[in-house]
Amino acid sequence: MATVRQERVAKLLQKEIGDIFLFKGKILFGNAFITVTGVRITPDLSLARVHVSLFKAADSAALLKLIKEHTKDIRRELGNRVGKQLRITPALEFFIDDSLDYVEKIENLLKK
């Protein structure tokens, strides 16, 4: 069960990381469209697990690997943006959110 503080910080991180992907994503990741679908943060606010949806990507696994390679750059930019609100910028872990694919699969099964 997440506390109110965790939820607020998670929403703040989701918004800011989404903005980073929106404005700096073209430079780092090409034409891929990256959406931050959710952020879960540990109780001590030191680790954020970021779930992303990847669109217009030929290979999702390769794009996720590229995102993980640029984690330091993303965290630095995030620290510049939320440095006044958070004492410590949390470490970031990125995961592919495949819930939309799962929903589509279930809908296709129900249509049969």
| Banded model confidence at residue 90, pLDDT cuts 50, 70, 90 | very high
On whether the CB atoms of residues 36 and 66 are closer than 8 A, the answer is no
On whether the CB atoms of residues 48 and 39 are closer than 8 A, the answer is yes
Contacts of 9 (CB under 8 A, 6+ apart): 41, 45, 86
Look at residue 68 in the predicted model and tell me its pLDDT. 93
Structural domains in the chain, CATH included, are: 4-111 (3.30.300.20)
CA distance 96 to 112: 28
Instruction: For 45-77, write each residue's pLDDT tens digit.
Output: 999 999 999 887 778 888 899 999 999 999 999
On whether the CB atoms of residues 74 and 41 are closer than 8 A, the answer is no
| Banded model confidence at residue 19, pLDDT cuts 50, 70, 90 | very high
**Residue 28: CA count within 13 A, CB half-sphere:** 21
Note the pTM of the prediction, 2 decimals.
0.85
